[in-house]
Structure formats: structure tokens, C-alpha cells
Amino acid sequence: NAGVMQNPRHLVRRRGQEARLRCSPMKGHSHVYWYRQLPEEGLKFMVYLQKENIIDESGMPKERFSAEFPKEGPSILRIQQVVRGDSAAYFCASSPAGASNQPQHFGDGTRLSIL
């Protein structure tokens, strides 16, 4: 499968625990984007990364949330000390390097549930 791969598909955490969401971009893509979707809403941008660099994190909460895209391995979205309001579907998308007017392609998301 050459598409964007996200895991896990479903993640259950108790309040106060940490959640780690992983994303492997499409082959040949070096730009990764994370979005969050609350029930009955559209997707909201969180963070845009290139390899080893955060380009735009304007949509990410200042506290408890962090993201990385290391030189080797998948991109990781990390949520520390989760709260009930973090329950959502988290989608990752990727696009080619230097892309202008190239669509982002999405993974199937991680559904995060906080007990």
C-alpha cells in the first residue's frame, strides 16, 4: 500500500495519559500535515512539518501537544496529559517536496477516545 499510513487506527487513553499517533507519508513525499476533526465538523489544521523541521504549527495548542518528523521514521503527534476534549479523529496528510498546487493525500486517521 503506497498510501499514507496511520497507526493506530483506534486509541483509547485515560485522562492524564499520553497519546502517540504515528504517520508514514506516501512514498516520495516529504511534507506532512496533521489535522483534527471533531464530530460533525470539518478538519482543522494543526501542524505542517518537513523532515526535521516544523514549518507551521499555528493550529496546534501551545500546551500538551507536540509534533516531530525525524530524518528516519514516521511523523509523530504527541499529546501529553490527555483530557476529554482531545477525543477526536486525527488525520495525517502528505504531499511531495516543493509542491505547489499539488493535492495533499490523507491517511485513514486515528480515532482517539479519552475515558
Can you give the binding site for another protein, defined by CB under 8 A?
4, 6, 31, 33, 35, 41-45, 48, 55-56, 58-59, 91, 93, 95, 99-101, 103-109, 111
Per the structure block, which three cell numbers stand in for 21? 499517533
> Which strands, in side-by-side order, build the sheet including 65-68?
5-7, 19-24, 75-79, 65-68
CB of 98 to another protein, least distance (A): 11
CB of 86 to another protein, least distance (A): 19
Between 79 and 95, whose beta carbon lies closer to another protein? 95
β-partners of residue 33 are: 48, 93
Between 41 and 63, whose beta carbon lies closer to another protein? 41
CB of 55 to another protein, least distance (A): 5
Between 68 and 108, whose beta carbon lies closer to another protein? 108
> Which residues fall within 8 angstroms of residue 1, CB to CB, at 6 or more apart?
none
Q: Tell me whether the omega of the peptide bond preceding residue 8 falls within 30 degrees of 0, making it cis.
A: yes
Between 24 and 104, whose beta carbon lies closer to another protein? 104
Nearest to 20 by CA among 66, 61, 54, 87: 66
CB of 78 to another protein, least distance (A): 20
β-partners of residue 21 are: 77
